[in-house]
Structure formats: C-alpha cells, structure tokens
Amino acid sequence: MKKLLFIGFLLIFINLPQEASARPLRVFVSILPQKYFVEKIGGDLVEVAVMVEPGASPHIYEPKPKQMVALAETNIYFAIGVPFETTWLEKIAATNPNMLVVHTEAGIKKIPMKGHHHEGRELEQDHHTIKDPHVWLSPPLVMIQARNILQVFLKVDPANRSLYEKNYNNFIKEVVMLHAEIRAALEGKGKKLDFMVFHPAWGYFAQAYGIEQVPIEIEGKQPKPAELQYLIQYAKERGIKVIFAQPQFSWQAAQAIAKSIDGQIVFVDPLAVDWDTNLRQVASKFKSALK
Ligand code: ZN
C-alpha cells in the first residue's frame, strides 16, 4: 500500500509539469489587432480570446458574463489602454488572482486627442485631458508592444524562449517592411496633407507618416451645428473630397459633410484582426484620397 502511494505521488509529480507545458497558454486581449500581435509572437504556444467582440467599440464595451467566467481559466490578460479598460480592468483582474495582467502600451509616449483647432477654450481643455488610445495603428509603436509581449512570454514560459524569440524577430522584420512600404506610399507629397476622419483613430498613424487627421467627432462627441459648418468650410478650402469613417460608429455627421462638399465616405477599420493587410489597404485609401 505504501509502495502504491509512493508510486502515486511520483506519477503526480511526473505528470503535472508535462501536462502544463503541453497545453497552450490561455491569453485574453482587449481588441482584435492585439490577437494578431500575440499570435505572431506566441504561435502555437498560445490560445487567444478577444474581449471587445467584432463590430463593438472599445470605447464603451461591457464584457459579457461568459467572458468574465472564461477569465478564470486565463493565464495572461494583455491590456492596451483602450477606454473600456478604465472601468473594467480592475474587475477583470479581480476575477482571477493567478492571471497576469500586462499593459502592452507601457513605454509609449501618448499624444493628446486632436480636436477641432478652431474651437473655444472649453473644448480645448477637454482635448488635453484625453490621451489618444489608438497606439496599435502605428507600426513603430507596435514594435514597442511586441517587445512587451515577448518579455511576458519569456517570463511565464522560459522553456520555450528560443521559439518566442524566433517568432518575435520574424514579426519585427515584417513590421519594419510594412513601415517602409507605407512610408514610401505616402511620402513625397510636398506639403503636409490633411485628411478628414469621423472618429480620430489615426493620430499615431498620421504622426508616423507625416500626414494630418482632421477629426469630425472627438471621442464620442458629435459636432455641434456651428462646428459642422466650420468643418464643411474647412474641407472646401482644402479641397478635401473624401471623409473617412469607421464601421463601429454612427457617421451621420460624416455623411452630412460629404454631401455638402460633394465628396464621398470611405470606410477604414482601425480594429481589423488582419492588422498588416488592413494597414496596407488603409494606406492605399489615404493615398488615393490625398492626391
Ligand atoms: Zn477610438
């Protein structure tokens, strides 16, 4: 009997670590583009679930009860600093004390949300308090996030170090190529060019490529009639013919402006899961609009 017990213990000790390493790491991310980054670096060693479901807005998202339950089985939560986390990240962390909560945007210097530059003092103050959360739309900033993701995997699963590092190096090469490609597509236009966008998600992208976004809405606030008039005037003066909008938001204001300037609405999605393909497409849409 004693012998059997001893063998039993031995089996437990032998089995536990093997079982743990054979199972992929369970990871949660806030938004779809992060799934792309985490899978690039984690490969088959990770299984990724996304909190903000396709078509939903990370500005106002509320986790579903079944997602809160799934967190109990999660090893790592990769946050990115999108607005719904302000309300929810603490609750998310509290569901599972064994889950590592990581801020992938750590080390990124955030810029204030850009407002309508003609506006009064009240609005201006508003803009300065809101930091732009859309850090995943700039390839140079994604390299910082990739580094943060890699560090976490090396810490949590050091046995697979070489695999993570290999994946990371390949991903960085891809991001460097994408960055060069977009820069080549958008540069050489002479002066700085404006594009008008309904929801100002493209601030870091614009910063990376020397173009400038003119927002219609600022973080959920629709323009007042006077602002709308100003924007129409602005677009006419600058010869802007395309208004960019995104599928997750209502875009009546964008439509009103487009109609007034005899222009059109083009959809660009900041939250697509096929991150690199999407950024390429966005760059080519911007390129044709900025001609
Ligand atoms: Zn946004």
- CB atoms near residue 34 (< 10 Å): 27
In a domain, 10, yes or no: no
The residue ranking higher by pLDDT, 219 or 71, is: 71
Cα of 217 to ligand 1 centre, how many Å?
10
Task: Say if residue 73 is in the same domain as residue 168.
Answer: yes
**Distance from Cα 11 to the centre of ligand 1, integer Å:** 51
Q: Quick: pLDDT tens for 80-92.
A: 999 999 999 999 9
Structure pTM?
A: 0.86
For 286, other C-beta atoms within 10 Å of its C-beta total 25
Count how many Cα atoms sit within 13 Å of the Cα of residue 250 in the half-sphere of its side chain.
Answer: 6
Q: What are phi and psi of 188, to 5 degrees?
A: 75, 25
How far is the centre of ligand 1, averaged over its atoms, from the C-alpha of 86 (Å)?
14
* In-domain check, residue 2: no
Helix pair 32-42, 139-156: axis angle to 10 deg:
50
Measured CA to CA, the distance from residue 216 to residue 196 in angstroms comes to 7
Residue 245 has pLDDT above 80, yes or no: yes
Residue 18 within any structural domain of the chain: no
Question: Do 218 and 151 share a domain, yes or no?
Answer: no
- Do both 235 and 259 map to the same domain? yes
Span from the CA of 202 to the centroid of ligand 1 (angstroms): 9
Q: What average pLDDT does range 12-37 have in this prediction?
A: 76
What is the model's pLDDT at position 219?
Answer: 60
Within this chain, do residues 58 and 159 fall inside the same structural domain, yes or no? yes
Q: Could you tell me if 258 and 199 lie in one domain?
A: yes
Average pLDDT over residues 253-259: 89
Q: Which domain holds residue 88?
A: 23-106+114-179
Residues 231 and 150 reside in one and the same domain: no
Based on the fold, state whether residues 151 and 261 are members of the same structural domain.
no
Q: State residue 127's pLDDT score.
A: 46
Distance CA 181, CA 208 (A): 12
Residues 37 and 161 in one domain: yes
Q: How many CA atoms lie within 13 A of 120 on its CB side?
A: 4
Has residue 4 been placed in a domain? Answer: no
**Ligand 1 centre from 201 Cα, in Å?**
5
Domain membership of residue 5 (yes or no) is no
Statement to judge: residues 133 and 217 lie in one domain: no
Query: What CATH number should be reported for the domain holding residue 142?
Result: 3.40.50.1980
Which of left, alpha, beta for 24 (phi over 0: left; psi -120 to 50: alpha)?
beta
Gap from CA of 191 to ligand 1 centroid (Å): 27
Q: How many domains does the chain have?
A: 2
Kindly state whether residue 3 falls inside one of the protein's structural domains. no
Return the pLDDT at 37: 98
Q: What whole-number distance in Å separates Cα of residue 199 and Cα of residue 162?
A: 41
Q: Are residues 160 and 254 in the same domain?
A: no
For 61: left if phi > 0, alpha if psi spans -120 to 50, otherwise beta; the answer is beta
* Statement to judge: residues 156 and 193 lie in one domain: no
- Expressed in angstroms and rounded, the spacing between residue 148 Cα and the centre of ligand 1 is 22
Q: Rounded to 5 degrees, what are φ and ψ at 105?
A: -85, 5
Please check whether residue 243 lies inside any domain of the structure.
yes
Q: How far apart are CA 193 and CA 59, in angstroms?
A: 28
Share of the chain above pLDDT 90, in %: 67
Q: What is the mean pLDDT of residues 241-265?
A: 87
- Identify the domain boundary among 155, 179, 203: 179
Residue 219 lies in a domain: yes
- Out of 157, 179, 201, a domain closes at 179
Residue 92 near residue 77, CB atoms below 8 Å:
yes
Q: What pLDDT shows up at residue 12?
A: 46
Q: In the predicted model, is pLDDT for residue 114 greater than 50?
A: yes
